[in-house]
Amino acid sequence: MIIKARNATGQFASYENRYQVETDKQAGLVEKKILLSDPVIPWAITELALENVTIIHAQTQLDQNMILRTEQARPTVDVFLQLTGSSAIQRSGQPNRTYKSGQCNLIHTPAYEGELQLSGPDIATFVVQFSTAFFERILYGTSGPLERLGEAVEKGQTQLLADCHAMITPAMKACLYTILHCPYKGLIKRLFLESKLLELVALQLEQLDQAKSSRSTSLRGTEVDKLMAVREWLDANFLQPVTLLEVARLAGLNDFKLKKGFRELFHTTVFTYLAELRLNYAKHLLLNENRTVSEAADALGYSQIHHFTNAFKKRFGYLPSELRN
């Protein structure tokens, strides 16, 4: 993908030459990083390219909307996750799409030229682009929305897996974190990344299936916005001790509307969502930061270690000590 942004003279210019490139030949992986302090395009992008998959993680902070021009020379099947902010995508010969904070979808994208409008102030996106040849192996023999996606791949047409975007789950975020902070090198890194990317696809298919089963909502637009803000606040402050009343007050909702609305919109409770964020973080501490079970329990604020181990086993199906052994 080629990304162009307006420079100081108002012209659209490519910043491909600003990338710092690292190659892990044994893993068959090329990593590109771009860090721009330019006030016009103050972004940070990490791009990981395997043989049939490209991973793009982009972050920026804006005081006004930004328009980027994008070009893609080959078709892909994309897992698109809008972590924060919003993205409005306009592409030649394709319907326009808008992703709000916390939304995700899976889409077949033919080659295109188009524009991407970003709205902040904080914007973060995560995109996995599979080659159509790679993804056709997943689509083989499927039915329903996946079958329609496969037909679109064959015909070279744009196709969303679901008409309505689904919501990003804590499990997806935990998967993203392990992808971006992979501790391995060489062949092991490639195998690890490929397995996590397929896990991310499976998690998104699961979430989109849930969204399909409950499309209708009794929530007003302002209530949805407040509940989205609650979820973003939980994502950023999940280690803080909070009560339901405190969260409701922050959102400008009463506790009943918070409990009912959160379950209706996100298919889980506030504290179940919070527990998943915390336990996924504990799993990361045990696996990637070599913390002890006691240290992980302390980080999550458990006063009794057996309460932590019980919650961990209920969430993952095994004890945290088994990761340490």
Q: What percent of the chain has pLDDT over 90?
A: 22
Residue 119 corresponds to which tokens in the numbers above? 């709205």
Q: Is the pTM of this model over 0.85?
A: no
> What's the average model confidence in pLDDT over 276-280?
92
Residues 265, 269, 270, 271: what is their CA dihedral angle, to the nearest 10 degrees? -160
Q: Which residue's entry shows tokens 């996606």?
A: 149
> What's the average model confidence in pLDDT over 118-132?
89
pLDDT digits (tens, 9 = 90+) for 142-180: 777 778 888 888 888 888 888 788 888 888 988 998 898
pLDDT higher at 208 or 67:
67
Q: What is the pLDDT of residue 37?
A: 58
CA distance 196 to 324: 21
The yes-or-no verdict on residue 214 having pLDDT over 60 is no
Backbone angles phi, psi at 176, to 5 degrees: -60, -45
**Domain residue limits, the chain:** 2-213, 221-324
Q: What is the pLDDT of residue 311?
A: 93
State the chain's mean pLDDT as an integer.
83
Which residues lie closer than 8 Å to 156 by C-beta, 6 or more apart? 75, 110
Q: Which of 74, 71, 47 is nearest to 128 (CA)?
A: 47
User: Does 1.20.120.80 match the CATH number of domain 221-324?
Assistant: no
Return the percent helix, strand and coil in the chain, to nearest 5.
Answer: 45, 30, 30
Q: What is the pLDDT of residue 13?
A: 67
Q: Which of 302, 278, 295, 265 is nearest to 102 (CA)?
A: 265
Side-chain half-sphere CA neighbours of 139 within 13 A = 23
As its CATH architecture, domain 2-213 has Sandwich (2.60)
Task: List 97's β-bridge partners, or say none.
Answer: 89
CA distance 103 to 204: 11
DSSP per-residue string spanning 276-292: HHHHHHHHHHHHHS---
Cβ(103)–Cβ(156) under 8 Å? no
